């Protein structure tokens, strides 16, 4: 039986838990002659090791051309080598491999195997991470000194600019990219307030407890489900007018419940 020399570049989304790989990816990892990674600190490499598969780390600071040469050399004798991709996508490695393979009379095969993909909304994780970096020690001094109160004017301004962008779609003065940009600015305010809230001192009741962006999202999800019983429950509202009437009733009950909690 003939064997095929192959370099497999395993790519995965850094926004998905590193062990959540496709079945094809795990089969490839299990069947490979060897598995390589850039650093022991790489999350995906750690997940592969946790599954009982050894992963070799390359020397710190090795350049893409040198790494490409080593990967190709490791395929001699019909071996399959899997490069466990880094979170930054290993810039320069694919070009270096192409250059290395073009110089060989009998080059090994090269394959890019995508082991996981971003799910809808995954880039929100990047936004949260950037906000945390800006607010953390060593980040931005302006961001670090902001409070809920100091951010209010910016939230109002961004909301107004969203409204202007929407109005501009009708009169032709704005494009969808303008609305996308303004919505991003408004989202920043939500992320900012949530990040500031994580640093608050606990209050006397559960209602005064600090919260984070996940708490904001969880509260929103619960609210959307609660306010759409015709979708998630057994309500029979089927027209926009019926939905609006139901929505008003639910909001009125929510206000009453909130007032009761505050008086308790």
> 47 CB contacts (<8 Å, ≥6 apart)?
17, 18, 19, 21
Residue 204 has pLDDT above 90, yes or no: no
pLDDT band at 205 (very low <50, low <70, confident <90, very high): confident
Provide, rounded to the nearest whole percent, the portion of the chain with pLDDT above 90.
81
CATH of 6-114, one of 1.10.287.3510, 3.40.1010.10, 1.10.10.10, 1.10.240.10: 3.40.1010.10
Please write the tens of the pLDDT for every residue from 215-231: 999 999 999 999 999 99
Q: Give the Cα separation of 45 and 214 in Å (integer).
A: 27
Residue 234 is predicted with a pLDDT of 87
Q: Give the Cα separation of 15 and 184 in Å (integer).
A: 19
Please write the tens of the pLDDT for every residue from 126-144: 999 999 999 999 999 999 9
pLDDT band at 1 (very low <50, low <70, confident <90, very high): very low
Please write the tens of the pLDDT for every residue from 56-112: 999 878 999 999 999 999 999 999 999 999 988 999 999 999 999 998 999 999 999
Residue 3 is predicted with a pLDDT of 62
**Using the 8-state DSSP alphabet, how is residue 199 labeled?**
T
> 105 CB contacts (<8 Å, ≥6 apart)?
none
CATH of 123-216, one of 3.30.70.1350, 3.40.50.300, 1.20.1250.20, 1.10.287.1080: 1.10.287.1080
Residue 202 has pLDDT above 80, yes or no: yes
Q: Give the Cα separation of 258 and 264 in Å (integer).
A: 10
Rounded to 5°, angle at Cα 177 from 174 and 180: 110
Is residue 101 within a helix (H) or strand (E), and if so which, with residue range? helix 93-102
Q: Give the Cα separation of 54 and 14 in Å (integer).
A: 21
Please write the tens of the pLDDT for every residue from 228-253: 999 999 888 889 999 999 999 999 99
Q: Give the Cα separation of 18 and 43 in Å (integer).
A: 6
Residue 168 is predicted with a pLDDT of 96
Query: Domain coordinates of the chain in residue numbers?
Result: 6-114, 123-216, 227-264
* Torsion angle, alpha carbons of 82, 86, 92, 97, to 10: 0
Give the residue carrying structure tokens 């057994």. Answer: 234
143-150 long-range CB contacts below 8 Å, 24 or more apart?
143/192, 146/192, 146/196, 147/196, 148/193, 148/196, 148/197
Q: Is 261 helix (H, G, I), strand (E, B) or coil?
A: helix
Q: What is the rounded average pLDDT of the residues 123-127?
A: 94
Q: How far is CA 154 from CA 53, 157, 158, in A?
A: 50, 5, 6
């Amino acid at each position: 039986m003939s064997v095929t020399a192959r370099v497999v570049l395993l790519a995965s989304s850094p926004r998905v838990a590193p062990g959540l790989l496709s079945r094809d990816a795990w089969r490839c990892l299990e069947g490979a002659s060897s598995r390589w990674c850039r650093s022991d600190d790489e999350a995906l490499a750690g997940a592969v090791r946790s599954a009982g598969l050894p992963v070799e780390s390359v020397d710190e600071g090795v350049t893409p051309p040198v790494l490409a040469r080593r990967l190709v050399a490791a395929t001699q004798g019909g071996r399959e080598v899997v490069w466990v991709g880094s979170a930054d996508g290993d810039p320069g490695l694919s070009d270096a491999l192409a250059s290395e393979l073009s110089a060989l009379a009998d080059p090994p095969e090269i394959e890019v195997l995508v082991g996981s993909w971003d799910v809808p909304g995954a880039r929100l994780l990047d936004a949260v991470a950037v906000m945390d970096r800006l607010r953390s020690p060593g980040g931005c001094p302006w961001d670090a000194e902001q409070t809920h109160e100091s951010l209010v004017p910016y939230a109002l301004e961004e909301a107004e600019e969203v409204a202007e962008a929407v109005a501009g779609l009708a009169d032709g003065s704005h494009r969808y990219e303008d609305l996308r940009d303004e919505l991003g600015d408004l989202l920043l305010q939500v992320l900012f307030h949530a990040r500031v809230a994580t640093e608050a001192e606990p209050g006397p009741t559960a209602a005064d407890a600090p919260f984070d962006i996940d708490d904001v999202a969880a509260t929103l999800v619960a609210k959307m489900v609660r306010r759409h019983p015709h979708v998630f429950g057994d309500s029979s509202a089927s027209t926009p007018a019926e939905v609006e009437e139901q929505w008003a009733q639910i909001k009125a009950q929510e206000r009453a419940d909130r007032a009761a909690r505050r008086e308790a």
